[in-house]
Structure 1
Amino acid sequence: MILKQAIDIYELLDDPKIDGEKVVDFFTKNGVKDINSTRISGDKGYTDFVKIKIPGINGKSQGGYAPTLGVVGRLGGIGARPDVIGMVSDGDGAVAALTAAYKLGIMSDKGDKLNGDVIISTHICPNAPTLEHNPAPFMNSPVNMYTMNENEVESKMDAILSIDTTKGNKIVNHKGVAISPTVKEGYILKLSYDLLEILEKTSGEKGVTFPIAMQDITPYGNGISHINSILQPSTATSSPVVGVAITTESLVAGCDTGASHIEDISLAAGFAIEVAKAFGKNNCSFYDEDEFKKLNEIYGSMTKFQK
């Protein structure tokens, strides 16, 4: 149960004066040693990229062999001030990713260390701009998607869970968490049953998935519509990426306030933690390596969709 940690992180971020350094200070006081914040400015303001590493017993940071899981909290901003006051729905991805980091840090400090490293990254922007979008407005960001990927996606991540609020659509009508098929090097691969089983275990419900199209895995800025930015990390890595969507039955705009549901944020964070446990021990596969190799042999590379 990580509801308490989710509430603590939500309260930390729901502050017009929050920034990366305050997040670093919070985590440092709670025993997390490997954390940093980098401020980057753009045409529409600035945001603070926060990166946390939770070392595993046999993690690569310790000279070990265990694979590293990346957890990316995807969003435009946690707030849209001065247009709206308070935490926006779009910030759920950041809250969930940092909640997972917070709980993993507590576990590690107590002696419950995972086998592999976990790298968690997101960004903190309480004053982000908004963007018109149909059927519901998006949150925009002070920096472009290339800059986000450059600061949130690491080559050391052997697989990535990308957590993002995915409520402003008519594609998935479920309140809770849904996962996407695996995306790797321009291919939309079949769903990972290992991940689906972990989701069912952590939610106590039948696993929910959401469909994606080729448009969704192409880079932002190409003039093509996307469900949202949930799979943008897949454009910047050769590692497999799975979207973890925090969803609702009703259509909710990313810039809406009062629309975050702490139990769903907690579920997304808990799912990420359970995946990290299994992935570090090679007990969870994001994709079938032999089948991926065969796809490339028959149909060739699809990396053009990453460009």
Structure 2
Amino acid sequence: MFDKIQQAYDVLDHPQADGQSVRDELADTPVDVDVTTISSDDGTTDFVKIIVPGTDPDAETLGVVGRLGGVGARPAEIGMVSDADGAIVALATAFQLAEMADRDDALAGEVRIATHVCPDAPTQPHDPVPFMGSPVDMETMNEHEVDDEMDAVLSVDATKGNRVHCERGFAVSPTVKEGWILPPSETLLDAQERVTGEPPSTLTLTTQDITPYGNDLHHINSILQPATATDSPVVGVATTSVNPVPGSGTGANYLPELTEATGFVLEVAKDFTRDRAEFYDEGEFERLRSLYGSMDRLQTPGEEA
């Protein structure tokens, strides 16, 4: 998997990195690539959606979202920023699945991979260390990266700018669905153990972390923002560090951990599209809703008291 990480890194670590560069890398492979350019007063970014076909039209579809503000913060910083982890893992997964499909080793179900490419995103204040900003708002990101075809979503995001999870590697969040924070999936933890050879590592979430941006509440980062835009279950895949690292920090894309995170996403794709993995217990979820009602208001901006 190291070569796929390096391939993604080479495509993204460039002052002129864009969606066309990604499309070129996937030319002559059996995948579909769609690139949409969005501009605002804060700059421009290219949304990239890659569809890897499956062999069984009735199989489940997995969504993989590489969440970030930008792969670079030029001119403030030179080179790849820590925040680029989500895009690196998403593209490395796409490159691997495309190669597998080209070798007739395709998965049963479709995998839809989405991220965006911006080499010169702004930065923004955040405690305890600065975050990366983005040329577009969160609603626009969700619109272009989350779609109704995704039966479940893995959201990959650099999650190093905090004192909540203080170990290097990657962590798997509890499943979030329709405003509920559910237990971590046992089958996904199995995949994590298989890939790392270590005990599971899970990410602590709070209720405000799963609410939409823009409500003046503190969020660990944008890793669970896709859960505000879909009724499908969403699990965060967080690349982490021992000490807080700014999203705009350079030299902080840890290749062994990125390789493990990509391996995890690939294993979940294999298992989920073959009905060997589940993101949540459907019976327990229905019991929660029957006892306590809907929590989908947490997917909305909310109302002032």
| Matching residue of 1:54 | 52
For residue 43 of structure 1, report the CA deviation from its aligned partner. Answer: 2.1
For residues 215 and 265 of structure 1, the distance between their equivalents in structure 2, rounded to whole angstroms, comes to 27
Deviations 1:76-135 (A, max 9, x none): 000000001000000011000100010000011001110100000000000000000110
Quote the Cα distance in structure 2 between the aligned partners of 1:278 and 1:42. 39
- Please say if 1:282 is aligned against 2:281: no
Find the partner of 1:225 among 215, 218, 221: 218
Query: What corresponds to 2:64 in structure 1?
Result: 71
Deviation of the 1:11 alpha carbon: 1.3
Say how many residue pairs are matched: 300
Alpha-carbon offset, residue 192 of structure 1? 0.5
Q: How does 1:77-116 map to 2 (within 5 A)?
A: 77-116=70-109
| TM-score (structure 2 length as normaliser) | 0.97
Q: Which amino acid aligns with 1:188?
A: I
Q: What is the root-mean-square deviation of aligned Cα atoms in Å?
A: 0.7
Report the 3-state secondary structure (helix = DSSP H, G, I; strand = E; otherwise coil) of the residue aligned with 1:28.
Answer: coil
The 5-angstrom pairing of residues 251-262 of structure 1 reads 251-262=244-255
User: What is residue 23 of structure 2 aligned with on the other side?
Assistant: 24
Shift in CA distance, 258/32, structure 1 to aligned 2, threshold 3 Å:
farther
Matched residue SS, 2:238:
strand
Shift of 1:25: 1.1
Distance in 2, Cα, partners of 1:219 & 1:71 = 19
The one of 116, 129, 139 aligned to 2:122:
129
Cα separation, 1, equivalents of 2:243 and 2:220: 16
Aligned residues: percent identity? 53
Correspondence 1:149-298 to 2 at 5 A: 149-298=142-291
Q: In 1, are the aligned partners of 2:130 and 2:161 still within 8 Å (CA)? A: yes
- Tell me the equivalent position of 1:12: 11
Mapped partners of 1:231, 1:172: distance in 2? 15
TM-score, normalising length from structure 1?
0.97
The residue that corresponds to 1:38 in the other structure is 36
How far apart, in 2, do the equivalents of 1:21 and 1:3 lie?
23
Question: Unpaired segments of 5 or more residues in structure 2?
Answer: 301-305
CA distance in 2: counterparts of 1:71 and 1:32, whole angstroms:
18
